[in-house]
Amino acid sequence: MLIEQEHRLRAVIFDVDGTLADTERDGHRVAFNAAFEAAGLTYRWGVEEYGELLATTGGRRRIERYLRSCGHAPTEAAALATTLHADKTRRFVALVRTGAMRARPGTAELINALRAEGVAVAVATTGTSDWVRPLLDNLFGIDAFKVVVTGSDVTDLKPDPAVYLETLLRLELTAAAAVAVEDSANGVQAAVSAGLRCVAVVNEYTRDQDMSGAIAVLDDIARPEDNPGGVEVLRGDPGLVNGLTVEALRRLAAVVA
């Protein structure tokens, strides 16, 4: 009975970029490039190159590391990265407000189903709060989320577990009562280091990353309407072919970590 209690699913904690929404290639990347251009810099991040740059979490840190790799002195790179990232954030907020960013298929339905069953829905992201909140509000309604913790709320970004530990603290739950949903190796590592069971739902940028800490790896959240074969289960319970349902997440929560 005690074990059942401990492993009862009380919350699902979602990552945002690449998990709840496809924001990177046609969102953040475009805003980074616009900020470079507005600053009179010739740097432009291509689709493929951006996939490699994503290994560095946090847009400001990503720019800083890139500028240093291009030969900028450390202090100059840090200062320039701060200015560029502030401009990039304003530009991305404007993009979000146009409605251009889309939720990944099945996310809204899953969030609604979890809430209907009394399972809390939370967000743990590396992204900056200035755009995270408008994006979540635009796609799902901000009230859908019991807790939202962003990269602006913690000092250490993923793969550090800080954002997940802060989310659990605000949910007033232990890791055993929650499951995390992530799309990247850095995200899986952060969730697992916080003691959470984590399911990975990959995308074009993360498909080949090391998800060994995840208890399951899927290529989609929901069974695509145009694909009666269902979700591709890259690793884990073959029953996940129907995608992430409340029932599937309950089963994953019962897996002893």
Does residue 15 have an active-site annotation? yes
User: Smallest Cα–Cα separation from 99: which of 57, 49, 139, 150?
Assistant: 139
User: Given the DSSP bridges, would you call strands 120-124 and 216-218 parallel, antiparallel or unpaired?
Assistant: unpaired
Which residues inside 167-226 make contact with Mg ion, applying CB under 5 A? 183-184, 187
- With contacts defined by CB under 5 A, name the span among 13-21, 54-62, 134-142, 169-177 that binds Mg ion: 13-21
Q: Does 151 bind Mg ion (CB under 5 A)?
A: no
Question: 125 or 245: whose CB is closer to ligand XBP?
Answer: 125
Catalytic residue flag (residue 237): no
Q: Which of residues 127-146 bind ligand XBP (CB under 6 A)?
A: 127-128
Q: Name the token pair of 4.
A: 């059942």
Q: Are 197 and 211 in contact (CB under 8 A)?
A: no
Decide if residue 22 touches Mg ion (CB under 5 A): no
Determine phi and psi for 99, rounding to 5 degrees. 85, 15
Phi, psi of 57 (to 5 degrees): -80, 150
Nearest residue to Mg ion, scored by beta-carbon proximity: 18
C-beta of 33 vs 186, nearer to ligand XBP: 186
In whole angstroms, how close is the CB of 209 to ligand XBP at the nearest point? Answer: 11
The span of 53-61, 171-179, 211-219, 239-247 binding ligand XBP (CB under 6 A) equals: 53-61
By the criterion CB under 5 A, which residues form the site for Mg ion?
15, 17-18, 183-184, 187
Please report, as ranges, the residues that interact with ligand XBP according to CB under 6 A: 15-18, 24, 28, 57-59, 125-128, 151, 158, 184, 186-187
Residues classed as catalytic: 15, 17
